[in-house]
Amino acid sequence: MATILLLSGPNLNLLGEREPAVYGTTTLDELVAIASETAAKRGHDVEHMQSNHEGDLVDAIQGARGRCAAIVFNPGAFSHYAYALTDALATFDGVKVEVHLSNPHAREAWRHHSVISPVVDGIVTGFQAAGYRLAVDAAATLLEERTT
């Protein structure tokens, strides 16, 4: 059994009430439950942390080194400019998956570039709540491939 760290960036604590036309009506607690159930089916567990503060997320990534096998991360708006998160993720040797509820490429131009994407194994975007299941499944698959 491996631990997958599920990280949630700024404003994700408001999911379910914040811009439901863009992000859906699923709450963050419900997304964590989806991720946890998906991981459990694959023999893993999920540890979740949400913060509106970049430094807290950097600390969580650094704290996952040597302890967690994978990180599934929705960095929210930090995706587009938080190079400290990029640097922290680059030091994590495990599987890394970036996930977004909406499709940033179908939105405002400033959302089209992610500074996080170059240091992750893959990206799941635009599938709303199902994206969390897909992201955890992808992380579990990569973990299995790396151990065989």
**Domain of residue 8, CATH code:** 3.40.50.9100
CA 2, CA 11: separation in Å to the nearest integer?
A: 28
Return the higher-pLDDT residue of 20 and 90.
90
* Residues 40-88: tens digit of each pLDDT: 999 999 999 999 999 999 999 999 999 999 999 999 999 998 999 999 9
pTM comes to 0.93
- The pLDDT value given to residue 85: 98
Number of structural domains found in the chain: 1
For residue 23, indicate whether it is catalytic: yes
* pLDDT category of residue 36 using cuts at 50, 70 and 90: very high
Residue-wise pLDDT tens digits, 94-144: 999 999 998 777 677 766 789 999 999 999 999 999 999 999 999 999 999
61-76 b/e with 16+ CB inside 10 Å = b? beebeeebbbbbbbbb
Handedness of CA 146, 45, 71, 20 (dihedral sign): positive
Of 23, 44, 48, 132, catalytic: 23
Q: Which residues pair with 76 in a beta bridge?
A: none
Select which of 44, 48, 100, 132 is catalytic.
100
Residue whose C-alpha is closest to residue 75's, from 42, 95, 41, 51 = 51
User: Considering only CA atoms, which of 13, 40, 22 is closest in space to residue 136?
Assistant: 40
Q: Length of the chain in residues, anyone?
A: 148
- Domain of residue 46: give its range: 3-147
**Which positions ≥6 away from 25 have C-beta within 8 Å?**
16
